[in-house]
Structure 1
Amino acid sequence: MSTYGIRLPKLLQKGCVLQRGEKTRVWGWCDPGQEVQIQLQGKNGSALADAQGRFEAYLENLLPGGPFTLKLQAGTEMQEVTPVYVGDVFVCAGQSNMELPMNRVQERYPEEFAKGGCPGIFVYKAVEDAEFTAPLEDHREGAWHTCMGEELQDVSAFSYFFGKFVKEKYKIPVGIINTSLGGTPAEAWTSREGLQDYPELLAKTAYYRDKGFREQYQKGQDEREKQWHEALAEQETKTAEAPWQKLQVPGIFADQGLDHFSGLVWLKREFEIAEGAGEAGLLRLGTLTESDKTYINGVMVGETGYRYPPRRYQIPEGLLKKGKNEIAIRLVVREGNGRVTPEKAYELVTKTGVRIPLEGTWDCQIRAVSQPGQELIFFSRIPSVMFQGMTAPCLPYTVKGAVWYQGESNDVAPDSYEALLKNMIRDWRAHWKQEKLPFIIIQLPNCDVDIAPGEAWPKIRQAQSRAGELCDTAVTVNLDLGEDYDLHPLNKEGVARRAFLAAQSLIYKENVVWEGPVLEEIKQQERDWILQFDTRDGNALEPQGKTLEQVFEIMDEKGNIQSVPGLVCENRVILKCQDTETVKAVRYAWKSAPGKELLYNRAGLPAGPFCRETERRER
C-alpha cells in the first residue's frame, strides 16, 4: 500500500463533471514511481507518478451521462469517486458580474426558485485565493455543487443560466468551473509569463510578494479605516440638533445640493399603516451609497456595508403599528457620490400584501462632513495573483471553452485593455495547452454609475470587440441588458442567452444567428453619409423607430462631436450632415449608457457600438 495514498485535486471530487470527447485528463498525486490504474465507463487509463508524485492519464471517448464511479488503484489501494458525470465543461471567469449569485437576482427570477432550480448542472466555485509566490497545484478550497434547492442560492447567476441553456439544448450534464472575484482586473488573471511585456505590472507583483509587507500594509489600512469611521461617529454625537432639510428619494445627492459630499447623513420619513399593522413584512430600499443601518420605529431591521447589494430587509412581526410609523436610515457616504439609487424599488410590503410606497420627499440631516475615505487596496487585484491562486489549479482540467465577463475594473486605463485582454487569452490557451480554446467575451452592458468618466466604457467595449479578432473567439453585445444606475444588472439570463448563442456557433458549429448587425462600410453620397450593415440574418435593420435621434454622432477634424439623426432604409442608415467634408469619424452608441434607441436585426440582437473613421471622396 502506498505511503501517502492517492490524492486527487478538489476538481476531481464528488459531483464533478468530466468533459466528454476524445481525450479527458485525470490527474493527482501518490508515491513517486507508483503506477496508477484509472477506470470510468469501462474505459481504462494508466500513469506512472513522477519524482514529485504527480500522475496524469487520459480516458478516451467518454460518453455523456451519469452518475458514474471513477475508480483509481495504486498497488493494493483503491479509491472511488462518486457520483461523477460526463458532459460539457466550461470555465466561467471574470469579476463581480460573473460571480453575482442567484440570491441577488431572486426577485427577478422567482420561478427558478419555485421549481427548485435545474437538475443536471453542476458548478465548481473556486474560493477566493490570492497567491503571491507561485501557481498552486490545487485549490485550497473549492467544491462542486448542484443547482438545486438551497445550493441554488449561492450559485453564480450567469453560470446557472448559461449551464441551463446548454443542458436544455443538448440534454447532457453540464459542468461550470467558476473562477471569478469582484473588482479584479484582467492582469490579476494573467500569469507572470504572460506579463513579460508589462515590466511595470511585474514590478508590482514583486512588491507585494513580501508577506510581511502585505500584513503591515493591511494593518495600517484597517487602522486608517477604523479612525475614519470613529471620526464620523464623534461628529455625529455633537450634531444631533443639526437642521433637517428635504431630499427626494430616490435621487442623486449631487443633484440636490450635496455635490462631492462625504460623511454621514440621516434620512427619515413617516408613513401610515391602515391595514397590515403588526404583520411581518419586507422592506425594499433599492441600493444606497455607501453603507447603511436602517431602522423602523427605532428598531434596526438591517444593515449593509457597501453600495452594491440590494437592500431587502425583513420586518419582524409586531414592529409595524397602526397609524404613523417612521423609517430612518443612517447612511455613510465614502467617496462624494452619495445616492439613493434611481430606477429601483422603494417600498414596504406586509405579509398579506399591503404595499406602502416610500418614494417621495424625505427629511435629511447632515451629521458629519469629512474628506473622502481612503482608497482601499485589495490584494486580489495585484497582477497574476488570481491566476496563481484560482486559475492555475484548473489548467489540467479538460474543458469545452471559456466565458469571460470582465472589464469594469480596467476602465481607469481603457486604452491598454485591448492588448491586456488579447494577451490574457493567449496566455490561458498556452497554459491550458489548447491553442484553440474557444473564448466568449461578454461585452459590457449599459451603465452610468460607479464607473470611470468620459469615454472609458465605450473604449473598453471597443477593446473587447477587437479582442474578438483572435481566432476561436466571439464577443456578445449587451448594450440593452444593463441598468443605467447599477453596475450589477439583474438580467443575467439575457446575457447568458446571448453567450449561449455564441457558443452554439463558435463551439457547437451550428448555423445560428448569434450576433446583431455589423457595420460593413461607410461611404459618402452627395450630402449624406451612408452606413451599410450586414444584419447577419439576411433581413432589414429593425431599429426602435424610423429615425434614431441621439445614438449616431459625427466628429470633425477638430474633435467636435455632434448628434445627427439616422434614417433607416433596409440594411442602411443614412446620416444627413450640413457639411459632409468635415466629417472625420462616425460613432454609434458611443456612451457608457447610450439609451434604448438601438439598431437590431430581426433576431432581436443589437448592433455593437463603434467609432469608425470615414473615407472622404477625392475633390
Structure 2
Amino acid sequence: MSRTLSLLWVMSFSLASLVSNTVRALEMPDIFASHMVLQRDQPIHVWGKAQPGSIVKITLAQQTQDTHADDMGKWQVTLPALSVNTQGLVMQVRADDQVRVYSDILVGEVWLCSGQSNMEWKVVNANHSREEIAAATDPMIRLCTVKRAVADKPQDQVDAIWEVCSPKTVPEFSAVGYFFGRYLRQELNVPVGLVHASWGGTPAEAWTSQQAMAANPITQAIIKRWDAILAQYANWKQTNQPQSIKKFYNQDPGNVGFEKGYAQSDFNDSAWENVRLPALLDRDYDGVAWYRRTVRLPLKMQGKTLILHFGPIDDCDVTYVNGAIVGRMNDSGAWSQSRQYTLADSMTQTGELTLAVRVFDRFSSGGFKGDASQMYLQCQSTGQSVSLSGVWKYKWEKRMSKAPGKPKKPRGPKDPHRPANLFNAMIHPLIPFGIRGAIWYQGESNVERASEYRTLLPVMINDWRTRWQQGNFPFGIVQLANFHQVQKQPGDSPWARLRDAQWQTSRTVTNTGLIVTIDLGDARNIHPANKQDVGRRLGVWAMSQVYGRKSILYCGPVLQSYKIDGDRIRLTFDHVGEGLKTIDGHVPGAWTITEDMKRWYWAKARITGCNTMEVWFDKLSHPIAARYAWADNPDNPNLTNSAMIPASPFRTDER
C-alpha cells in the first residue's frame, strides 16, 4: 500500500470512529421545566430526543418508566395520572449518562391561553395594574410564556419558560390569562398553570395546521390565496435584487448646479423663486432643487464653532457654507434623518454666511420635512441660536418624472399571518403536554372575513383537539368587545358578523363557551384595559361547565325562540336566572327591526315576562326580523339576567 493510500485509510477510519462515538445530547422541549404545573387526573406524556437506541428512564413521584429512543432519536413515555400536589415534585430524565432534573413541579389545572393582541395584552397595561401587580404573589400559580416564533413546518422545540407568579413575573404576562387563572385558583384552591402562546395582529388561520385547512373547501381557499401571495413574493424577491433596484428610483444626474456656482457666496440668485421653509417640493415631480439663504451672525456667534440643524431632508442633500461642503447624506434612510453639520470656527469669522443646500428627491415626496423649530444655527459653546426657517431662494436644477419607487414587499413564507406558521412554531411543540382546556381571544384580524371565520374557527378547534388526543377538551371563546364610534344609523356591521360567527361556533361545536364582552370595550382603543372582567367571566364559565358547578349562571340570556305576532316580534330566552332585566334599569336598548331585510330601523323593546320580551317599531306593521346589538359599537346594549351577565349580540334572521 502506498504511503498516500495508507494516510487516507487512517483519516477515514479516524473520521468514522469520531462519528460513531458522537453521542446525541438528551433534548427536551422547553415546555418541560422546573416550576411547571402538570395536569391532574390525566396520564402524563413526557417526550424528547436522545441517542438512537439509547435507554431513556423517567422518574416522577416514585414512578419510573423506561423506553428506547427510536432510529431518529425520538422517545415518549406516558406516566400514570397524579392527583393534586402542592409540595413540589422532582422529575428526572436519564439517557445513558446524561441527566435532566426538573424541580418544584406542581400538579393541578393547566390551561392554554392563545389568540392575538387582546390575549397578549399585559397585566402591566391593564386597569389598576399597580395594585394588581403588588398583590400578585401566589406560588400556586405558574406562568409559562411561549416566545413568538414562525415556522413553515411543524417544530418539536419551543422557546418557553415557566415562572412562579409574583410581582416580578406577572407584569409581562397575559392579563386575560392571569385574571382567569387567578379566579380558578381562588375557586378551586389547587395549583394553576397557564401556558400563554399568542401574537398580536394575527389571524386564526396562522394558528391552524395546513392539513386541517386543506381538508375543508372553505379554509382550503385561504391556502390558495396565500399560494398566490407567495408567488408574488418570489417575483418580488427576484426583481428586487441589488442589480435591478435602480429601475425603481430616479438616479442623480450629477451636480450641475455646483458647476454653475450655485453654492458660492457671490452667486446672484435674485431671479430665483422664494419659498418658506420647511416645505416639500412639488409633488408632481422628482429631481434636484437648490436652496440658498444668507445669514448674518450675531457678534457673539462669530468665530465660534456652530452646529447647523435642518431636521429631515427627503431624500438626499449636499450642504455648503460659503461654497465649501459642510455635510451630506445620501444613504437609503437619509429621508427620515435630521441633519446636524458642524461649522468650524474658521468658517464663521465673518458675520455673514451663505447657506446653499442641494436636495435630490429620488421618488415620492421630497424637500425639507421637519418642523420650523428644527431649522437653526447654534453656537456649540454658548447655546445661542439663530432660526433658519422662513424665506429662502430656490431653483430646480432638474425636474424628473415621478419614479414608481420600490414595490411594497409582499408577505413571505415566514410571515406570522401565513396559514399554519404559528401553529407550527408555537402550538405543535406543546402537543401532547397535558392541559385541561384552552381559552381564545382573537378575531379582530378576521373581521373582514366573518363568513369564512364561521368555518375557520371550528376547524381550528377540532384540529387542536384531534392532535392533543385528549377528547373534546373545553374551549372558551372571548367574543369581540365593542369598538369604534357608536353608529347613528342602524345597518350592517363587520364586527357584529364576526361576533355572530363566534356565537355560532359556541352553539355548534361541543364543549365550547362564549364569553360576551360587548359592555367592556373602548370606542377609541381596540385593546380595552378592563381585562379583569374578561378573566372573571371566563372563570365563571369554567367553574360551571368544566368543574361541575352547574348551579352557577355562567352566560347571559340566549335566544331560545321567537315568533312574529302582527306588528310585534316576541322573543323567549334561556339562561335568564331569576329573570330578564337591563343593566342600567332603563328600557332595553340596541334593538333594530326590518320588514324587508334592506332597511333597518331603531326599535322599541320591553320585557314582558321572566324570560320574554317584545320588539316593535311604530311605523312597521309587518316586521320580519330583529337584531340585538348589531353594530361595531352598539348604543346601550343593556339586556342581561339576574347574574348581570350581558346577552350576546344576535339576530333572528339567521340562527
Q: TM-score, normalised by structure 2?
A: 0.66
Instruction: Decide which of 445, 464, 480 is 1:409's aligned counterpart.
Output: 445
Paired with 1:384 and 1:403, the residues of 2 have a C-alpha distance of 19
Code of the aligned partner of 2:105: V
- Structure 2 match to 1:157: 175
Cα deviation for residue 427 of structure 1 reads: 1.1
CA contact (8 A) 2:204 2:446 kept: yes
Cα deviation for residue 456 of structure 1 reads: 0.5
Cα deviation for residue 581 of structure 1 reads: 5.0
Paired with 2:597 and 2:187, the residues of 1 have a C-alpha distance of 52
- Structure 2 match to 1:294: none
Paired with 1:510 and 1:45, the residues of 2 have a C-alpha distance of 36
- Structure 1 match to 2:28: 8
Code of the aligned partner of 1:188: A
CA contact (8 A) 1:123 1:159 kept: no
Cα deviation for residue 194 of structure 1 reads: 1.0
Cα deviation for residue 597 of structure 1 reads: 4.0
Instruction: Decide which of 508, 528, 533 is 1:489's aligned counterpart.
Output: 528
Cα deviation for residue 238 of structure 1 reads: 6.4
CA contact (8 A) 1:587 1:610 kept: yes
- Structure 1 match to 2:601: 562
Paired with 2:519 and 2:603, the residues of 1 have a C-alpha distance of 21
Between Structure 1 and Structure 2, the one with more strand by share is 1
Code of the aligned partner of 1:467: T
* 1:80-112 CA distance string (max 9 Å, x none): 11222211111111000001112222x523211
Cα deviation for residue 545 of structure 1 reads: 3.2
Q: 1:210 to 1:90 in 2, by over 3 A?
A: farther
The SS at the match of 2:636 is coil
Paired with 2:207 and 2:557, the residues of 1 have a C-alpha distance of 32
- Structure 2 match to 1:188: 206
Q: 1:485-564 to 2 correspondence within 5 Å?
A: 485-511=524-550, 512-548=552-588, 550-564=589-603
Paired with 2:67 and 2:541, the residues of 1 have a C-alpha distance of 37
CA contact (8 A) 1:136 1:388 kept: yes
* 1:323-353 CA distance string (max 9 Å, x none): xxxxxxxxxxxxxxxxxxxxxxxxxxxxxxx
- Structure 2 match to 1:608: 648
Q: 1:70 to 1:516 in 2, by over 3 A?
A: same
Q: Radius of gyration: which is bigger? A: 2
Does residue 35 (structure 1) correspond to residue 55 (structure 2)? The answer is: yes
Identify the range of structure 1 (179-188 vs 539-548) with the bigger mean alpha-carbon deviation.
Answer: 539-548
Instruction: Decide which of 129, 133, 139 is 1:109's aligned counterpart.
Output: 129
Cα deviation for residue 241 of structure 1 reads: 8.3
- Identity, in percent, stands at 28
Instruction: Decide which of 626, 649, 652 is 1:586's aligned counterpart.
Output: 626
CA contact (8 A) 2:569 2:623 kept: no
Cα deviation for residue 79 of structure 1 reads: 2.5
Instruction: Decide which of 81, 90, 115 is 1:94's aligned counterpart.
Output: 115
Q: 1:127 to 1:112 in 2, by over 3 A?
A: same
Identify the range of structure 1 (203-212 vs 418-427) with the bigger mean alpha-carbon deviation.
Answer: 203-212
Instruction: Decide which of 449, 453, 465 is 2:503's aligned counterpart.
Output: 465
CA contact (8 A) 1:404 1:440 kept: yes
CA contact (8 A) 1:441 1:474 kept: yes
Q: 1:211 to 1:36 in 2, by over 3 A?
A: farther
Does residue 596 (structure 1) correspond to residue 636 (structure 2)? The answer is: yes
Q: TM-score, normalised by structure 1?
A: 0.70
Paired with 2:175 and 2:65, the residues of 1 have a C-alpha distance of 36
- Structure 2 match to 1:438: 474
CA contact (8 A) 1:473 1:506 kept: no
Identify the range of structure 1 (1-10 vs 432-441) with the bigger mean alpha-carbon deviation.
Answer: 1-10
Cα deviation for residue 522 of structure 1 reads: 1.5
Cα deviation for residue 454 of structure 1 reads: 5.0
Cα deviation for residue 16 of structure 1 reads: 1.6
Code of the aligned partner of 2:91: L
| Aligned-pair Cα RMSD in Å | 3.4
CA contact (8 A) 1:546 1:567 kept: no
Paired with 2:131 and 2:232, the residues of 1 have a C-alpha distance of 47
- Structure 2 match to 1:138: 157
Paired with 2:637 and 2:239, the residues of 1 have a C-alpha distance of 47
CA contact (8 A) 1:17 1:89 kept: yes
Does residue 380 (structure 1) correspond to residue 416 (structure 2)? The answer is: yes
Q: 1:86 to 1:457 in 2, by over 3 A?
A: same
Does residue 122 (structure 1) correspond to residue 142 (structure 2)? The answer is: yes
The SS at the match of 2:428 is helix
* 1:433-487 CA distance string (max 9 Å, x none): 2331211111111111799x95111000000011112111111111011111110
The SS at the match of 1:9 is coil
The SS at the match of 1:67 is strand
Cα deviation for residue 552 of structure 1 reads: 0.8
Identify the range of structure 1 (388-397 vs 504-513) with the bigger mean alpha-carbon deviation.
Answer: 504-513
Paired with 1:186 and 1:601, the residues of 2 have a C-alpha distance of 31
Cα deviation for residue 600 of structure 1 reads: 0.8
Code of the aligned partner of 1:75: D
Paired with 1:583 and 1:412, the residues of 2 have a C-alpha distance of 29
Instruction: Decide which of 70, 89, 103 is 1:82's aligned counterpart.
Output: 103
CA contact (8 A) 1:552 1:564 kept: yes
Instruction: Decide which of 63, 66, 70 is 1:50's aligned counterpart.
Output: 70
Q: 1:386-425 to 2 correspondence within 5 Å?
A: 386-425=422-461
Q: 1:9 to 1:433 in 2, by over 3 A?
A: same
The SS at the match of 2:502 is helix
The aligned length equals: 471
Cα deviation for residue 204 of structure 1 reads: 4.8
The SS at the match of 1:136 is coil
Q: 1:174 to 1:541 in 2, by over 3 A?
A: same
CA contact (8 A) 2:68 2:75 kept: yes
Cα deviation for residue 37 of structure 1 reads: 1.8
Paired with 1:545 and 1:78, the residues of 2 have a C-alpha distance of 64
The SS at the match of 2:652 is strand
Does residue 426 (structure 1) correspond to residue 462 (structure 2)? The answer is: yes
Paired with 1:14 and 1:20, the residues of 2 have a C-alpha distance of 17
Paired with 1:433 and 1:408, the residues of 2 have a C-alpha distance of 29
* 1:135-170 CA distance string (max 9 Å, x none): 00111x221123213222211111111111111111
Paired with 2:421 and 2:171, the residues of 1 have a C-alpha distance of 28
Code of the aligned partner of 1:101: K
Does residue 477 (structure 1) correspond to residue 496 (structure 2)? The answer is: no
The SS at the match of 2:79 is strand
CA contact (8 A) 1:546 1:568 kept: no
Paired with 1:94 and 1:214, the residues of 2 have a C-alpha distance of 32
Instruction: Decide which of 488, 493, 506 is 1:455's aligned counterpart.
Output: 493
Code of the aligned partner of 2:650: F
* 1:48-73 CA distance string (max 9 Å, x none): 22221111111212122232111122
Code of the aligned partner of 1:150: K
Paired with 1:18 and 1:614, the residues of 2 have a C-alpha distance of 42
Paired with 1:142 and 1:238, the residues of 2 have a C-alpha distance of 56
The SS at the match of 2:522 is coil
* 1:479-521 CA distance string (max 9 Å, x none): 0111111100011110011111111122212211110111112
Q: 1:317-396 to 2 correspondence within 5 Å?
A: 377=411, 379-396=415-432
CA contact (8 A) 1:205 1:384 kept: no
Paired with 2:409 and 2:601, the residues of 1 have a C-alpha distance of 36
The SS at the match of 2:138 is strand
Cα deviation for residue 202 of structure 1 reads: 2.3
Q: 1:239 to 1:116 in 2, by over 3 A?
A: farther
Paired with 1:403 and 1:218, the residues of 2 have a C-alpha distance of 43
CA contact (8 A) 2:83 2:108 kept: yes
CA contact (8 A) 1:556 1:583 kept: yes
CA contact (8 A) 1:543 1:568 kept: no
